[in-house]
Chains A and B, each alone.
Chain A
Amino acid sequence: MTTTIPPQGTAPAATGRVDIRGVHKSYGEHEVLHDVSLTIEPGSVVALLGPSGSGKSTLLRAVNHLETIQRGEITIDGEFIGYEQRGDKLYELREKHVLERRTRVGMVFQNFNLFPHLTAIQNVSEAPVALRRGTKAQIQERARELLARVGLADRANHYPRQLSGGQQQRVAIARALALDPDVLLFDEPTSALDPELVGEVLDVIRGLASSGTTLIIVTHEIGFAAEVADHVVFLDHGRIVEQGSPAQVLRSPEQARTQEFLDWVI
């Protein structure tokens, strides 16, 4: 955990590469994603920006198959999450196998979605226990470690409602880390927080940025995106308008639409 894997894999076996190719998704007439293609290198940090309704959350949820897509494909290290490729056909996987593959992707939600009837440590150890990832003692130990990592070692036995919003989101991050995912998805992780609690959550994410896990972050915190992201993607109306390094996209965008959004947000 203390060893830092440099991003963009000098280690040859780096995992967590996400390939998004030609993705379409619509709800009835309304097109949410239009021909979205994006390659995310292992260990990199990608920020998805865009006005609400631009499809950034949908794209994020499609990555771990919480949302199905109608056309195109999304693979993680060459593997589909919800399907298996045989020949040129994609076969829908049984839920059991979907879940197995999904464990490689952790997700942090806007509304935390902690399990309210379980304590912080039970929340963190729920998935490893369910999937039998080690003995009870090992899982407990690891859960404590994770809680300590997000600065909540002393809150292990608190229920979510006994924690502040920022603390809840940090527990949720620890929970997402419990299965050692290759890819972590953040769906507006600070949008439901009071301004003074945003910092503590961003600090934790900042700490993860150099850990070798691929991070995909949907956020409205432009400053934070500029600071931690290797790659910034700007979406509008279900299309990628512009992408590149934070310096390029956020400081000197090529597209008028991007500039307009940045002016409005900052």
Chain B
Amino acid sequence: MSTSASDLTSRDAENTRPGDLGIADAQTHGREVISLADQRESAGLVARTVVPLKHWGRWVFSALIVFVLAQLVWTLFTNPQWRWGVFAENFFDPAVIRGLWLTLWLTFASAIIGFALGAVLAIARMSRSPLLSSFAWGYIWFFRSIPLVVQLVIWYNLGYLFHTVGLGTPFTYDYWLIEFDTTRLISASVAAVLGLSLHQAAYSAEIIRGGLLAVDQGQLEAAAALGIPRARRFFHIVLPQAARAILPNAFNEVIGLLKGTSVVFVIALPELFYTVQVIYARNQQVIPLLLVAAAWYTIVTTLLSVVQFYIERYFARGSARELPPTPLQRLRAAFRRLTVRGTP
């Protein structure tokens, strides 16, 4: 492609020489010549080369970034303190994998519960009933106010507040119908899911509400005028359109949640971060094990980003006359161009 482009410009340059002269003449000899050049141009005889603007700043900064990156890569290979051997040994360590699973499971469960509850809260917040809308506002206010770590520890220690929880006569502690021992009911993992998802719900509620508000009122009117039932109106007409505004933020939140799960180490739940801490406390290989955790978080985030791309693309249908090609499609197209040129 680059060769053909340069061919084109060099040919253009040849063609344009007379025109360029025309301009030079015009500048030196005044008006008459200009009109002559204009005439030639309007007759379609002249095609001038365009000299692209040089962006010096970009070049300088790019060079600087490349330099810093090169330096970083150099230390990866030369500094023995990275201990890549230890990294490799522990990367697939069964304990690490178990921790990874717990991290994924916590993320998944909290995301599902958080977004489901968030959707209900968003709808309640937009309800015409002042009671519902205030409750939703209150929930969001409360759960956004208390730091996640604090919430987790509170849930974990709920037993101090209520030794048992259950159902029975209202406004008494007489649970004759069903009764649970709080510390046994709210184990570390239940406390983690509760804390993460209730916290997440408050944030997702606002994200979902934002998306719903972005849908044109006319869409609702048209659907109502067609007699489409309320639930279908929401799930079939409004939500798919709101999804375009919701998804980028929602994935941001899910990725945040994935990394946020590392906070549950405070209640001694052996997810990924807690697991590597346990291992490096034993073998003192702090950096390589933190790298193991970092690498796994990066891998999962990357996978989530790919999923995000395709989900967003699905919901973008109809939003443009033609969707831009995916990176894969672009790669394949480039490959095809190469092979076509390669076989003369």
Contacts and interface: CB of A to CB of B under 8 A. Distances in A.
B231 to A, nearest CB: 10
Nearest to B244: A117
Interface string A70-106: 0000000000000000000000000110011011011
A116 B223 CA distance: 12
Given A115-B237, A116-B318, A161-B318, A107 B230 contact: no
Interface stretch (A124-132, A134-142, A253-261): A124-132
A113 B216 CA distance: 9
B29 interface: no
B60 interface: no
B226 A127 contact: yes
Contact of B320 (A96, A103, A127, A161): A161
Contact of A111 (B218, B229, B315, B320): B218
Count chain B CB atoms within 10 A of each CB in A107, A115, A117 and give the residue with the most. A117
B54 interface: no
Interface residues of B, number: 24
B319 A116 contact: yes
Given A115-B219, A117-B317, A161-B318, A126 B241 contact: no
A100 B225 CA distance: 10
A114 B230 CA distance: 18
A159 B318 contact: yes
Count chain A CB atoms within 10 A of each CB in B222, B237, B319 and give the residue with the most. B222
Contact of A115 (B222, B225, B229): B222
Contacts, number: 79
Which secondary structure dominates chain B's binding surface?
helix
B19 interface: no
A48 B180 CA distance: 69
Interface of B: 216, 218-219, 221-230, 232, 236-237, 240-241, 315, 317-321
20 contacts: A66-B221, A66-B224, A95-B230, A99-B230, A100-B227, A102-B225, A107-B225, A107-B226, A109-B218, A113-B219, A113-B221, A114-B222, A115-B223, A115-B241, A116-B319, A126-B237, A127-B227, A131-B229, A159-B317, A161-B318
The 8 closest A-B pairs by CB, nearest first: A159-B318, A113-B222, A103-B227, A127-B226, A113-B218, A107-B225, A99-B227, A130-B228
